[in-house]
Amino acid sequence: MKVYAAYYNENTVRQQSSSGGIFSAIAISILKDNGVVYGVAMTKDCYSAEYIRVEKEDELKLLRGSKYLQAKVGDTYRDVEGDLKNGKMVLFSGTGCQINGLKKFLNVKYDNLVCVDVICHGVPSPNLWKQYALYQEKNREKLVAVDFRCKDTGWKSFGMKENEIYIPKEDSFYMQVFLKNYCLRPSCYKCKAKKEKYSDITIADFWGIDKILPEMFDDNGTSLVIVRTEKGESIWKKIEANLYAKEATYEEGVRNNVAEYSSAKKPKKRERFYVDLNNMNFNKFKKKYGASWGVRQKRKLKKFLQFFGGGIQSILYILRF
């Protein structure tokens, strides 16, 4: 394996991407070879995610950016098989388990198939996302666009963007339950794809790059790239001229990205989380699971101060000195 820190030298594409835009660099290379690209896009109603087939470069914007929910695969594996048998160059992108599933479905090695996986924290329930989207619409407006990894305030301090509304990750209910591992599939807590990897290239955020290779950090997104196969090395050589890249060690690459080799830990409240999702009013459910410990303490302190009035605030102000 070879490991790199890298980002695409086209700033607009990079800004639309969750990290450094390496997926787009690979996909553009495949399309220029008269190939096709399979990846995950949000549905038009924004209630779910699904695999789509892309043949044109301007359609790649639909595939850019992380989608933090389980995507519908549908007949995608059969469509991939059809393209491969017709001699098309195919790029298939997804989670490690989706790539492993495709390879086992095909059961034949194809020289014209390139597989790129993302280091996966885990896959949330599509039912949770739909309920969340419907709840947000009742309180705001119809959801027509969502960016799970918006970088408007920087790559390290990313948040969610729903239509034109930016929500810092600390204040986002959906992001909080995802990061706390409450909403993942049962298989994500014992992921077999961590040990059995069939991809040619793995991409992810290169967290900690500001300490490891500070010259590669500008807070606009830097990708971790793990080249796993000779085919992956061939693709890398084709796109390298369009990237800013520096080689790193595997240890440096995964130091702050343990999801490369380790499954998410199952919270004790995980089963209760889904019981409550199916039985509680969503507003109460959101309040119960969404806020972080620090946010809950701030809310309690605020209520405490409101109850006792300005006198206690004056005392606290004096105690600071």
CA–CA distance, 238 with 183 (Å, rounded to integer)? 38
Residue 138 has pLDDT above 70, yes or no: yes
- Check residue 301 and give its pLDDT: 59
Q: What is the DSSP letter of 215?
A: G
pLDDT, mean of residues 255-274: 96
pLDDT, mean of residues 185-195: 95
- pLDDT (tens digit, 9 = 90+) per residue, 28-39? 999 999 999 999
Contact 91, 35 (CB under 8 A): yes
pLDDT, mean of residues 109-129: 96
- Give me the percent of the chain exceeding a pLDDT of 70: 90
Q: What's the pTM?
A: 0.89
- Check residue 216 and give its pLDDT: 98
* Ranges 180-189, 256-265, 301-310: which has the least confidence: 301-310
- Check residue 290 and give its pLDDT: 81
Q: How far is CA 312 from CA 14, 307, 321, in A?
A: 49, 10, 15
- pLDDT (tens digit, 9 = 90+) per residue, 280-321? 999 999 999 986 544 545 555 555 566 665 555 544 433 443
- Give me the percent of the chain exceeding a pLDDT of 90: 89
